[in-house]
Amino acid sequence: MNTQRVDVKLVLLGREYSGKTSLVERFVFDRFSCTPYQSTIGNAFVAKRMEAKGKNLTLGIWDTAGSERYEAMTRIYYRGAQAAVVCFDLTENTSFQRAKFWVNELLNCEEHCRVYLCATKADLVGDKMARKVDLHDMHDYAEEMKAQLFETSSKTGQNVHELFQKIADDCAEKLVFTDQTPRGVNITKDAKREMARCCVK
Classify residue 141 by its DSSP letter: H
Tell me how many residues contact other proteins (CB under 8 A): 37
Region near other proteins per CB under 8 A, out of 86-94, 106-114, 162-170, 185-193: 86-94
What is the DSSP-derived secondary structure letter of residue 123? G
Neighbour order of strands in the sheet with 114-120: 55-63, 8-14, 83-89, 114-120, 148-151
Q: What is the dihedral of CA 7, 13, 17, 18, to 10 degrees?
A: -90
Question: Least separation, in Å, of the C-beta of 65 and other proteins?
Answer: 8
Binding residues among 21-60 for other proteins as defined by CB under 8 A? 21, 24-25, 28-29, 35-47
Based on CB atoms, which residue is closest to other proteins, 48 or 161? 48
- In whole angstroms, how close is the CB of 178 to other proteins at the nearest point? 19
Counting Cα atoms < 13 Å in the Cβ hemisphere of 171 gives 28
**Which residue in 63, 78, 83, 142 binds other proteins (CB under 8 A)?**
63
CB of 163 to other proteins, least distance (A): 18
Return d(Cα 70, Cα 74) in angstroms, integer.
6
Radius of gyration of the chain (CA): 19
Closer residue to other proteins, CB minimum distance, 21 or 159: 21
Return residues touching other proteins (CB under 8 A): 1-4, 15-17, 21, 24-25, 28-29, 35-47, 63, 65, 67-70, 73, 76, 89, 92, 94-95
